[in-house]
A and B are shown apart, each in its own frame.
Chain A
């Protein structure tokens, strides 16, 4: 993961840096699938959606450079996902002689819901970035105690540190996490 060590992939995209299809796939696949679920696509269609979104964005090339003049990347991505999801539903309708139920208001699928999904994406990415920005020991403590909810005594015993050190590491990680989330929300 080349970009995320220095800046997030989103920042790289917004900057107009060149990114690979694989970095994009690793980062955005869950979000594309999540959005595809809003269109009530089948599991096969969700995989097709992921494929078609990538093809649409990368135009068969292995690398892609976003034009920041197009506006915010999140809006562009929403439009690309929406366009491809509707296309898949149309194809299904053609195959099934127009007897498939068409989800209502397809052209303007709930904007607020997309914002929620985008926020969820930002938060899960923040955790990925945190892992790269703090020491491995700090992240281990944070993951075990703050994310997995293990008791601090158990974490301290497991890692051979004091309970106070568990709280110090958690505090450090959360402060860093806040900054990462703020930065990602601004991008």
Chain B
């Protein structure tokens, strides 16, 4: 029996699987526990991605250029990598 890979199942659940492949995939999922588990893992991935997006938004705090330069003065160093200011 041919099992489905995560990218294929991701396409399936998002309705992006080619029409002719969709029905065999649906039938396969009914009888295959292994592929159903994989499909559920994609839902867990969605939760992780949601949490990451929220975290990035939460921590996207604009930098104060004056405060940064004050730190450079304190440490007597202007790092080259810093390009945002």
Residue of A nearest to B53 (CB): A147
In the assembled complex, the CB of A119 is this many whole angstroms from the nearest CB of chain B, namely: 7
Chain A interface mostly = helix
**How many angstroms from the CA of A184 to the CA of B68 in the assembled complex?**
27
In the complex, besides A119-B55, A123-B52, A178-B45, 9 extra interface pairs with C-beta distance below 8 angstroms are A26-B82, A55-B74, A119-B51, A126-B52, A147-B52, A152-B14, A164-B11, A167-B10, A171-B5
Tell whether, in the assembled complex, residue B61 and residue A34 are in contact, meaning their CB atoms are under 8 Å apart.
yes
Within 8 A of B (CB), among A117-145: 119-124, 126-127
B27 lies within 8 A of chain A by Cβ? no
6 residue pairs A–B, Cβ–Cβ below 8 Å: A124-B58, A126-B52, A146-B49, A152-B14, A167-B16, A170-B7
Q: How does the 8 Å CB contact mask read for B10-51 relative to A, with 1 for contact and 0 for none?
A: 110010100000000000000000000000000001001101
**How many angstroms from the CA of A126 to the CA of B51 in the assembled complex?**
12
A40 lies within 8 A of chain B by Cβ? no
Tell whether, in the assembled complex, residue A168 and residue B7 are in contact, meaning their CB atoms are under 8 Å apart.
yes
Q: What's the tally of chain B residues with a CB closer than 8 Å to chain A?
A: 35
Within 8 A of B (CB), among A44-65: 47, 50-51, 54-55, 58, 60, 62
Q: How does the 8 Å CB contact mask read for B47-78 relative to A, with 1 for contact and 0 for none?
A: 01101111110111101101110110011110
In the assembled complex, the CB of A73 is this many whole angstroms from the nearest CB of chain B, namely: 18
Q: What's the tally of chain A residues with a CB closer than 8 Å to chain B?
A: 42
A1 lies within 8 A of chain B by Cβ? yes
**How many angstroms from the CA of A24 to the CA of B35 in the assembled complex?**
43
Tell whether, in the assembled complex, residue A62 and residue B52 are in contact, meaning their CB atoms are under 8 Å apart.
no
**How many angstroms from the CA of A60 to the CA of B75 in the assembled complex?**
7
Chain A residues near B74 (CB, 8 Å)?
51, 54-55, 60
Chain A residues near B56 (CB, 8 Å)?
123-124, 127, 147
Chain B residues near A39 (CB, 8 Å)?
none
In the assembled complex, the CB of B48 is this many whole angstroms from the nearest CB of chain A, namely: 7
Q: A22-B82, A30-B59, A124-B59 are in contact. Are A51 and B67 (CB under 8 A)?
A: yes
Tell whether, in the assembled complex, residue A34 and residue B67 are in contact, meaning their CB atoms are under 8 Å apart.
no
A21 lies within 8 A of chain B by Cβ? yes
**How many angstroms from the CA of A174 to the CA of B46 in the assembled complex?**
10
Tell whether, in the assembled complex, residue A152 and residue B16 are in contact, meaning their CB atoms are under 8 Å apart.
yes
Tell whether, in the assembled complex, residue B10 and residue A171 are in contact, meaning their CB atoms are under 8 Å apart.
yes
**How many angstroms from the CA of A163 to the CA of B7 in the assembled complex?**
10
A9 lies within 8 A of chain B by Cβ? no
A181 lies within 8 A of chain B by Cβ? yes
**How many angstroms from the CA of A25 to the CA of B81 in the assembled complex?**
12
